[in-house]
Each structure stands twice: as structure tokens, then as C-alpha cells.
């Protein structure tokens, strides 16, 4: 029975209870809203994780960068090591194994610290030993028999240093030092006996040339005698019979020289070794194949003559000059050691 609302009201005196109006559910809108919500949440999450991963990514990148740097450094070290190995296996210049003997003298030692840097905390004796060990390593790789006056932090006096070189019948001696000066000078100088012996000069010049090729702040040249007094000699240049020189490898009082020393320690070691071995060829100590060409110790003629004259005992030249086995050398001058 269908009746209109008016009929219902007339009969029952009230309006019919209407079925609760069905709430229209706008599923489309809900779904749309849900989709939008999900989208927004998704985007927020995405954005947050994006930023996070960006930060993390940066970090990763940084750490990657670092690890790349360090791995590059490691690779570099490895490459360097390989190079070192290579240079040890195949140095640029060699002599027949054990064919020549070279004495390397690391200046000062123990309580004799030598000079210091401006802060007074860096000692010459330490730098001298560092470079001496590098030179030794390279020389040995080149086939040279090396005699060290010291290979640790011990004191060896100057007489003894000369004796070690003379007794070992070393063909050359290179004394390694670092300089100091209260003034505006820097760089490398190499000292030779004031008799200006040819082989000693050659040795010093060859070492200087190689060091210049690596890079030094200033080439102060090969010099004769003693700093401030050409009339006297450094002890090791006076009391030895073989070609010798004293290298002042930059000034400890100059930051730039210290930086160069630290950065080029290995390269300087190699350079000095190359200069020494080149001198073995230049003096005819070895032949072009690197085999020893003279039977006796290589002598510094001018130093030897000086010494003999001073001691009034001229040597009997036999194939040049005889090797002195006494290790006793002229000592009439007031030799000082810088």
C-alpha cells in the first residue's frame, strides 16, 4: 500500500517516519581522496628518504671519496712501492754487484744532535740518518757495497768516521748533513776539499745535478774548504783518501727546505745514489759495463798528495796512487765539523 506523505498525515496525523535518508557515499571521492592521501604520503616518504639518501649519499660519496682517495693513495703507495721495487730491481744506473764500495756518513748522532730547526725540536742528526738510510737502500739496489759510519742514533767521532771509510777502502765517501743559518738563505751546498780535487768535485757536482733535477729551493753550488774559511776543510774531506764530499741538504732553519726534505726524502736518496754511481763511471772506477776497472781503491789524487807532502812520505805511485791502509791522514789544520 502506497500512499503519499499527505495521505499518511491525514490518516496518522503525523508525517511518516521516513527511512533515514540514505547517506550517499561518494566512493569516487573517497577513493580519489585515498589515492591522493596515499600519493601524498608516498611523496612525503619518498621526499624524506630522498633527502636522507641524499645526505647519506653525500656521506657515502664523501666516504667513497675518502676511500677512493685512500685507495688511490694506497694505489699510489703501491705504485710507488712497485716503482721502488722496480727501481730496486731495475735502477736507472747500476754497477756489477759489489764491484765498488761507498761509505755513507750520517752526520752527528746521539748527544751530538747537530743543528736544529727554529723550534729546537727537530734535530739534524735525525734527518741525516733518514737520508743516509735512503741513500744506502738505493746504492745497494744499484749493486754498490755500502759501508755506513752509523745506521742508528749513536755517536761516532770524526776520526773514527774517516777511519771507517779508509779501512773499508771505500772508493767514495759522502757525508750527509743539514745546514743552519740566521738569515735569508736556503738550498743545498756541497763541500769539497780546498785542494779542489777533480774526482771529489765531480762527485759533488754529479750529486748536485741529480738533486737539482728532483727540485731544491736553491743551488748554492759546489764549494771548497769550510764555510766562512776556504783555508780549512771539513774533517771528513781532509782525513779521507778517497773522493769525498759533504752535502748540506737544505737548511733546517728554513721551513721550505724542511718541506722539500720531507716530501722528497726518497727522491733525494735516489738522486744522491745516482750521482755517486754516475761518478763511478765518470772517474773510470768501473767500465762501461759496470765492472770494476781499477784494482786499487779509488783515490783522491790531490788529497792524497797533500797528505803525503804533509807527512813527508810521498807514496810510490803504482798505477796511480797506492791505497793507504793506515787510515792515518794529515791533520795539520784545525778542522771543524759543521
Which residues of this protein are in contact with Zn ion, per CB under 5 A? 107, 114, 177
* Greatest Cα-to-Cα distance within the chain, rounded to the nearest angstrom: 162
Integer Cα distance of 11 and 14 in angstroms:
8
Contacts of 192 (CB under 8 A, 6+ apart): 200, 201, 203, 204, 222, 223, 224, 237, 244, 245, 246
Nearest CB to Zn ion, comparing residues 198 and 265: 265
Nearest CB to Zn ion, comparing residues 114 and 187: 114
Nearest CB to Zn ion, comparing residues 114 and 275: 114
CB of 177 to Zn ion, least distance (A): 3
User: Sheet containing 219-224: which strands, arranged edge to edge?
Assistant: 145-148, 101-106, 172-179, 244-251, 188-192, 219-224
Nearest CB to Zn ion, comparing residues 204 and 308: 204
Nearest CB to Zn ion, comparing residues 13 and 120: 120
Q: Which helix (H) or strand (E) holds 205?
A: helix 198-214
CB of 73 to Zn ion, least distance (A): 33
103: three-class secondary structure by DSSP: strand
Nearest CB to Zn ion, comparing residues 67 and 118: 118
Q: What are phi and psi of 8, to 5 degrees?
A: -60, -40
CB of 280 to Zn ion, least distance (A): 26
Can you give the C-alpha Rg of the chain in angstroms?
41
Residue 175 CB-half CA count within 13 A: 33
CB of 270 to Zn ion, least distance (A): 22
Positive or negative CA dihedral for 61, 64, 70, 71?
negative
Report yes or no: 304 and 329 within 8 Å, Cβ to Cβ: no
CB of 55 to Zn ion, least distance (A): 55
CB of 72 to Zn ion, least distance (A): 38
CB of 307 to Zn ion, least distance (A): 23
Residue number of the CB closest to Zn ion reads: 177
Place of cell 731495475: 90
Nearest CB to Zn ion, comparing residues 191 and 321: 191
Amino acid at each position: 500500500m502506497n500512499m503519499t506523505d499527505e495521505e499518511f498525515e491525514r490518516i496518522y496525523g503525523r508525517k511518516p517516519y521516513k527511512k533515514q535518508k540514505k547517506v550517499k557515499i561518494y566512493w569516487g571521492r573517497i577513493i580519489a581522496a585515498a589515492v591522493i592521501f596515499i600519493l601524498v604520503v608516498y611523496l612525503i616518504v619518498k621526499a624524506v628518504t630522498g633527502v636522507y639518501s641524499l645526505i647519506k649519499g653525500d656521506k657515502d660519496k664523501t666516504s667513497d671519496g675518502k676511500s677512493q682517495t685512500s685507495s688511490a693513495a694506497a694505489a699510489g703507495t703501491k705504485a710507488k712501492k712497485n716503482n721502488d721495487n722496480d727501481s730496486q730491481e731495475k735502477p736507472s744506473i747500476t754497477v756489477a754487484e759489489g764491484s765498488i764500495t761507498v761509505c755513507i756518513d750520517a752526520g752527528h748522532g746521539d748527544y751530538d744532535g747537530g743543528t736544529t730547526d727554529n723550534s729546537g725540536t727537530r734535530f739534524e742528526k735525525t734527518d741525516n740518518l733518514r737520508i743516509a738510510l735512503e741513500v744506502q737502500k738505493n746504492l745497494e739496489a744499484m749493486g754498490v757495497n755500502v759501508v755506513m759510519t752509523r745506521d742508528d742514533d749513536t755517536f761516532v767521532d770524526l776520526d773514527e768516521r774517516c777511519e771507517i771509510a779508509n779501512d773499508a777502502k771505500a772508493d767514495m765517501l759522502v757525508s750527509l748533513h743539514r745546514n743552519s743559518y740566521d738569515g735569508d738563505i736556503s738550498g743545498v751546498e756541497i763541500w769539497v776539499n780546498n785542494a779542489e780535487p777533480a774526482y771529489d768535485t765531480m762527485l759533488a757536482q754529479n750529486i748536485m745535478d741529480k738533486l737539482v733535477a728532483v727540485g731544491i729551493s736553491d743551488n748554492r753550488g759546489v764549494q771548497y774548504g769550510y764555510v766562512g774559511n776556504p783555508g780549512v776543510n771539513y774533517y771528513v774531506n781532509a782525513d779521507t783518501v778517497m773522493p769525498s764530499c759533504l752535502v748540506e741538504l737544505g737548511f733546517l732553519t728554513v721551513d721550505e727546505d724542511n718541506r722539500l726534505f720531507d716530501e722528497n726524502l726518497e727522491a733525494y736518496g735516489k738522486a744522491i745514489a745516482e750521482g755517486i754511481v754516475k761518478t763511478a763511471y765518470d772517474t773510470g772506477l768501473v767500465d762501461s759495463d759496470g765492472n770494476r776497472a781499477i784494482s786499487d781503491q779509488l783515490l783522491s789524487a790531490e788529497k792524497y798528495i797533500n797528505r803525503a807532502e804533509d807527512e813527508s812520505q810521498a807514496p810510490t805511485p803504482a798505477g796511480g796512487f797506492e791505497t793507504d791502509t793506515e787510515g792515518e791522514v794529515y791533520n795539520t789544520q784545525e778542522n771543524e765539523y759543521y
